[in-house]
Amino acid sequence: MNLFFRRKPSSLAANHPLNLASSAAPLRHAPISPPVADSPPLDPSAESTGPLEISVSSARVPPRHGSPAAVRGPCHISLLVPGSPRATRSPCSSVRAFSSGPGKLPEYEMPSVTWGVIQGRKEKLVSRVIISDYLRSLGIVPDELEHLELPSTVEVMRERVEFLQKLGLTVDDMNEYPLMLGCSVRKNTIPVLGYLEKIGVQRSKMGEFVKNYPQILHASVVVELVPVVRFLRGLDVERLDVPYVLQRYPELLGFKLEGTMSTSVAYLVSIGVRPRDIGPMVTQYPYFLGMRVGTMIKPLVEYLISLGIPKMVLARILEKRPYVLGYDLEETVKPNVETLLSFGIRKEVLPSVVAQYPQILGLPLKAKLSSQQYFFTLKLKIDPDGFARVVEKMPQIASLNQSVILKPVEFLRGRAIPVEDVAKMVVKCPQLVALRVELMKNSYYFFKSEMKRSIQELVEFPEYFTYSLELRIKPRYHKLAQKGIKCSLGWFLNCSDQRFEERLQADYIETETVGPSFCVGGKLEMPICEIMSEEEEDESDDEVLYRRTVSL
């Protein structure tokens, strides 16, 4: 309760006895804000040039004669000392009274209490000038603080600056966002940082967090921060991953739940992204939560579908590589698709290329493909058409280091394989250029010393080097040797374990058939099925079962 007196203290007691009980009644409609703890204590020894504040805490004031009861509770009495700058003006001029309607009790807006000291307009201007000079002495430009309420003393501002510096922020950081100096250490900064530490943000990372997103100091923990964290947990983001997500993309704390974040998630689920994968997607690439569906996500998705990528295949791509959503459609994706076509990649193969290597949509592709094509022509003797076939089968070749590519090629040439044949092997099986030479050596020596086969078989089936020597080549070869079966490399390597065992049990070696092909957007087609269906009409069930078993 604040009472203002304009008369001298000497005549106050004699002529106007203090009646707290009677003065409390009119203030029922005007609750009093408690004094802010951010202000420095008053110095009683200082010269009385301002309001004198007397605090009576937990005191029982004896009732005045005739009053109904005593008043319990803290009392805060402000006296204006004669000679002070405010002694000649009415303190009630800062209180704006208005009525909400005729016949109603007046309502009051209490004066703004700034860090425990009620200042008039003149005092505020003086304090602002002093604080601005202090900030300029530190190298901080206070121009953006012109319309911001500042503390009444330099000591409070110094406390804020020193607190931010202890967090690791520099003067340049404060100049980047001067409004952080308008946040009270006790009422804004400490509660926010305390909550961030509670959810797992390390104290050593607080300075970097505030530097990246200083607006968080203005946030309300209950109204803004807690709902966002609960939203992330509701998306199945692991509790330990929440601080990691917020440190990568702190702007999430400024988004409204019913806005961009919710619509982004809803749209991705609508195209086939599984809800249980949304959490891992957020952990890997949280930025898509801030993307607008209508202007960023949906146009990209529709364009990729128009290339021939089925919606469900695209959903699986986004689940594993959500950063694809961050590729700019007009600046990056469309130009890269045009680049692929210009280098000879067939349009019908584009969906397969993107599905194998989605990152190709975000690369500086024209420069990379130009460099690789020149390298393939010069060093590997592969023409541009052959290079296009290599990219179709292994689009990762666009990002592969040229020194890595050259090592397997030199190894094959060193085994007396002609340059032209090595080029054919690379075009047929581009995975060769990504293999480790040590593994290729072991497979080659087994091929020559144990299997004793001709080099021409390697030229015809270069995929031999891509199979594990210990897990597939050796075990299967030994089984063939025991049965005395002679067959091609592809016959006993290019099949599953179950099918290989079935082949061993068969009475004859069937001719190799075309393997399964997958047309993106279509069905899995087995060419052998059409042949079998025509012959099955005149055969018994046992014969059909036997033929199916052998063909598998």
pLDDT tens column, 232-275: 999 999 999 999 999 999 999 999 888 889 999 999 999 999 99
pLDDT value at position 330?
96
511 pLDDT more than 60:
no
Using alpha carbons only, what angle is made at residue 45 by residues 41 and 49, rounded to the nearest 5 degrees? 85
Report whether 290 contacts 299 (CB < 8 A): no
pLDDT value at position 509?
62
Whole-angstrom distance, CA of residue 366 vs CA of residue 361: 11
540 pLDDT more than 80:
no
Greater confidence (367 vs 504) lies with 367
Work out the number of other CB atoms within 10 angstroms of the CB of residue 38.
19
**Owner of token pair 């425990």:** 116
Report whether 352 contacts 313 (CB < 8 A): no
- Identify the CA nearest to 22 among candidates 61, 64, 57: 64
Tell me the pLDDT of the chain averaged across its residues.
78
Maximum Cα–Cα distance for the chain, whole Å?
A: 128
Report whether 281 contacts 237 (CB < 8 A): no
50 pLDDT more than 50:
no
Whole-angstrom distance, CA of residue 426 vs CA of residue 387: 9
Token pair recorded at residue 463: 């995929």
Domain edges within the chain: 9-117, 513-551
**Owner of token pair 């000038």:** 129
Tell me the residue type at 424.
Answer: K
pLDDT value at position 392?
97
Tell me the residue type at 445.
Answer: Y
Token pair recorded at residue 85: 């700058």
pLDDT tier at 505 (50, 70, 90 boundaries)? confident
Tell me the residue type at 244.
Answer: Y
- Identify the CA nearest to 83 among candidates 6, 3, 16: 6
Whole-angstrom distance, CA of residue 529 vs CA of residue 155: 87
Q: What phi and psi values does residue 51 have, to the nearest 5 degrees?
A: -70, 135
420 burial (CB, 10 Å; 0-12 / 13-18 / 19+) is exposed
Question: Residue range 164-193: average pLDDT?
Answer: 92
488 pLDDT more than 50:
yes
Token pair recorded at residue 548: 């199916």
Bridge-based pairing state of the strands 517-518 and 524-525: antiparallel
Question: Residue range 351-379: average pLDDT?
Answer: 96
Indicate the range of 27-41, 326-340, 378-392, 508-522 predicted with least confidence.
Answer: 27-41
pTM higher than 0.85, yes or no? Answer: no
pLDDT value at position 260?
87
